[in-house]
Structure 1
Amino acid sequence: MKINKQVSFLMFLAALLIGSFGQAQNSKPNIVVIYLDDLGYGDLSAYGATELQTPNMDVLANDGVKFTNGYATSATCTPSRYGLLTGVYPWRNAKARILPGSAPLIISTKQETLPKMLKRAGYQTAIVGKWHLGLGAGNVNWNEHISPGPNEVGFDDAYILAATQDRTPTVYIKDGYIDGLDKKDPIYVSYKKNFEGEPTGKDNPELTTMKWHHGHNQSIVNGIPRIGYMKGGKSAVWSDIDMADHFLAKAQAYVKSHKNKPFFLYYALQQPHVPRTPNPRFVGKSGMGPRGDVILEADWCIGEFMKTLKEEGVLENTLVVFSSDNGPVLQDGYYDDAIEKLGKHTPAGKLRGGKYSLFEAGTRVPFMAYWKGTIKPKVSDALVCQIDLLASLSKLVGVEAKKTDSEDMLAELLGKSKKGRNNLVIEAGGRTAYRTGDWAMIPPYKGKPLSWNSFIETGILQDFQLYNLKKDLGETNNLAKSNPKKLKELLAEFEAIRGKDYSKMKK
């Protein structure tokens, strides 16, 4: 009898412990990263836009921590996404450049990633939206299981577009398989030559509904000429005007079906990247043409997604981090009135440059952390970067992450500190520059100071550039010659991080 009582007591204790562990697991906050594509520092009304109103994005900024010094690692998409998910500076990986849709996966399956770390903490992990980090190991057979991809680097669930909306293949991929593919109509993709008999934007402009400006003149899908060639797979081809709704529905469904356990969702919207194809509900709403319309569409999607978090009872237990992969661009491959209808709107705000640029507007982007009831509204000048999510979130969930370039900025994300990083190396087109304190330093490079196709200042000059951003946010007064001491100091710090002499890194 005594033994039975002891056994019963031990079982009771075990049940308590198991129950406590389960509660501890469920008490971990859900984590959502909302990532936009080519959204500029000045594109949100919360960041000073007066010609566009973005009320749903503004909630995240005004009711959370709004960073004024939040950065992507790079001024283009693929490298920024690489840095976000790995915590590693993309300039350390020579393959982290803008990728074609047929490129192999550039994240090693053995590499530490944000979803891998969170899986070790007991999280369910998913990506919905744009991927653009490569798929497979080369020579992908799109009609079979495509691997490695998001699932092999830590995502339990993956519903993606392979590259960008302007690149082939123009299909959705669910956990390694093309969604809706009819095996009787296989799909073929090439970035080298066209398939016999297939029309292109260059040769058949009469079949297009969107005029290309540069580069986007190959396979025509839904009337839009793309980068890359594609044949077949008609049943799987996406509807461009429904893409935002489609990804929103997938993100909402994920929350509804995974709300009972901690989840990590990387919700990567395609707006306002080209081709800008707003749903008819949003056409003309901004008065700025398709670019303004898709920003309003993205804002609506975010509002609907946040409603879902609330309706499913998980809003107050969800940390939402919002940002963009790089700065803004108006002309990026199609004639769509982005420049002509801009009006008084300034997509980069008071910053200089934009996408592709070493100037501030290339990498300084909207960056917010929102957690209803936990984070108090605050504006923070702390220097933070997207690569810091790995170390910061590992601290939050109590799991050690492998050492990378990521730094623990959890206190900054939660609004408890304004210290931030000491420094940051940013990248654009394979060239790097340095940011520390109030200072920005850009080394001399060979190249063109103005991008011929996007009309953006690249930040490339053959002389050193040094700017005091506190006094000169627009980077108009180059202090390199008048303050050689500060230039020498920053250059030494920069070279120490880069791990090479400056003379060997000139391009």
Structure 2
Amino acid sequence: MTGSAKISGLSAFGRFAFAAVIASLLWSPPASAQTSDNAPRPNFVVIFVDDMGWGDLSSSGAEYIETPHIDSIGTDGLVMSQFYAGSNVCSPSRAALLTGRYAPRSGMQFVTRPHSDWGLPSEEITIAEMLRNAGYATGMIGKWHLGHRLEYWPTQQGFESFLGVPYSNDQEPFNLYRGTRMVEREIDQTTLEDTYATEAERFIADHAAEPFFLYYATNFPHRPLFFPPENTGRSGPAGDYGDTIETLDDAVGRILAALDENGLRENTLVIFTSDNGPWFQGSSGPFKGHKGDTNEGGYRVPFLLRWPAGVAAGTHNDAMSMSIDMLPTFAQLAGAQVPQDRTIDGRDVTAMWTRGAPSPHEILYFINNNGLAAVRSPRFKLLLSEYYRASHIDFRRYTAPKLFDMLADPQERYDIANRYPGEYERLLALAEEMSAEIAPMAVDRGGIYPDDPTAPLGPILDGDR
């Protein structure tokens, strides 16, 4: 599956079926991608952006937006064209990435609000906790959005350092914290990306002599959109959205440059991806739907990876994977221990990254709030529900679930359930089994606004506000 790391429309899909069959027989890793048991452990940098669509990078066809630094990650390493976020909205997606588990297992099916008194349970084991226990320095920069009481705060979830904000930039109060201390009450969001990038440069320099994990979770391009005044109009017709993404690309360039300046390029694994599809602006590429939808556009996101010591430049893998795979894969590469006392839904995808191997997943599940939105096999997808005029339409109650051939019709245009009744029944049975498994995990997190207007808003980190 080597070739251009540049994604071009749907050409990836035509190659997948053939490649998945022969990859394990014909593929051998390039010399530059060979690894050994006694090789030094890699550093990990995960750049997790907020509400960026599959089609929002210049390498994936964005018409006006230029993202040379982000694109270079894939050009110098790996692009995965069928990569999925763990959910179609913020908090569940972040929980899935950090725990390697579908969101219902941690009770994180819904988005936290400023009045929320719940968050990621302390019993959950995050990537940061796992790697810290394996001797890594761990730091987080940016948007947390997994609870803003002290017991849920990043510094209680494995991150030794934190500079960032409690939740999305459209929620208030919106203050900047270092550790548990507020350092900026009225954030100037036009300089927030610069603040984050400066902190990333500092973290990399401070920990250059030891293995580290940096989780860089920017607030952008989630709305409202902000960028330095001098970047106004930079992306032309793409407006504020494009200018925000190009500002983010500058920050990514600074992170990559900091790795180079500290001699860390070769053995630092850099990942760029998004928490879900685009919201009110942006592009899902050729795919149907956006953030919050149950279709591809809600879940399918960019995935670019650079790791010169382990992944050859120009690698492309078209097999399916999900953000839940990061925890077990990082464990494998870092010599860390995957939690054994709970279900880990992710799989070690090292071979997908380094050898172009097929996906270790026979099935992926797509969570939507307390329920199941879809079931995906390497070729087919069974869609269980959609939204119509703000109403949630459960196809198991209205008409029937829809079966799509994701190799021939990734846009989910044509239901072919009657052409493949055996596959339809198989995926439906798996959907019912998974639905029954997560049903007891259902939670009621209330609405967007607090039932009690006197409820405290924002972080409670010291017990006395």
- The two structures share one fold, judged by TM-score above 0.5: yes
| Distance in 2 of aligned mates of 1:499 and 1:131 | 30
Q: Does 1:366 align with 2:306?
A: no
Q: Secondary structure at the match of 1:426?
A: strand
| Distance in 1 of aligned mates of 2:82 and 2:411 | 14
| Distance in 1 of aligned mates of 2:228 and 2:324 | 33
| Distance in 2 of aligned mates of 1:67 and 1:122 | 29
Contact 2:112 2:119 in 1 (8 A): no
| Distance in 2 of aligned mates of 1:415 and 1:79 | 30
**Aligned-pair identity (%):** 30
| Distance in 1 of aligned mates of 2:393 and 2:311 | 36
Map 1:342-361; keep pairs closer than 5 Å: 347-361=283-297
Report what 1:80 is aligned to. Answer: 93
| Distance in 2 of aligned mates of 1:501 and 1:155 | 29
Q: Which amino acid aligns with 2:354?
A: L
2:116 to 103, 106, 114: 103
1:426 to 356, 366, 369: 366
1:495 CA displacement: 2.6
Contact 1:101 1:132 in 2 (8 A): no
Q: Does 1:306 align with 2:319?
A: no
Q: Does 1:408 align with 2:408?
A: no
Cα distance, 1:102–1:444 mapped onto 2, change above 3 Å: closer
2:410 to 466, 473, 490: 473
Deviates more, 1:67-76 or 1:92-101: 92-101
Report what 1:263 is aligned to. Answer: 212
2:317 to 377, 380, 384: 380
Contact 1:70 1:364 in 2 (8 A): yes
What per-residue deviation string (whole Å, max 9, x for no partner) do you get for residues 416-436 of structure 1?
423342111112343321111
1:93 CA displacement: 3.8
- Unaligned 5+ runs, structure 2: 1-36, 443-465
Q: Does 1:275 align with 2:224?
A: yes
TM-score, reference length from structure 1: 0.74
Q: Secondary structure at the match of 1:281?
A: helix
Deviates more, 1:427-436 or 1:126-135: 427-436
Higher RCO structure, 1 or 2 (CA under 8 Å, sep 6+): 2
Q: Secondary structure at the match of 2:365?
A: strand
Q: Does 1:464 align with 2:401?
A: yes
Cα distance, 1:402–1:500 mapped onto 2, change above 3 Å: closer
| Distance in 1 of aligned mates of 2:328 and 2:88 | 22
| Distance in 2 of aligned mates of 1:61 and 1:422 | 25
1:451 CA displacement: 4.1
2:244 to 269, 286, 294: 294
Report what 1:18 is aligned to. Answer: none
Cα distance, 1:451–1:45 mapped onto 2, change above 3 Å: farther
Report what 1:53 is aligned to. Answer: 66
| Distance in 1 of aligned mates of 2:271 and 2:252 | 12
Q: Which amino acid aligns with 1:245?
A: D
RMSD: 2.4
Q: Which amino acid aligns with 1:255?
A: I
1:382 CA displacement: 1.8
Q: Secondary structure at the match of 2:230?
A: coil
Q: Does 1:159 align with 2:163?
A: yes
Contact 1:162 1:169 in 2 (8 A): no
Contact 2:106 2:124 in 1 (8 A): no
TM-score, reference length from structure 2: 0.80
Q: Secondary structure at the match of 2:130?
A: helix
- Unaligned 5+ runs, structure 1: 1-23, 137-145, 181-235, 331-337, 339-345, 453-457
Report what 1:395 is aligned to. Answer: 332
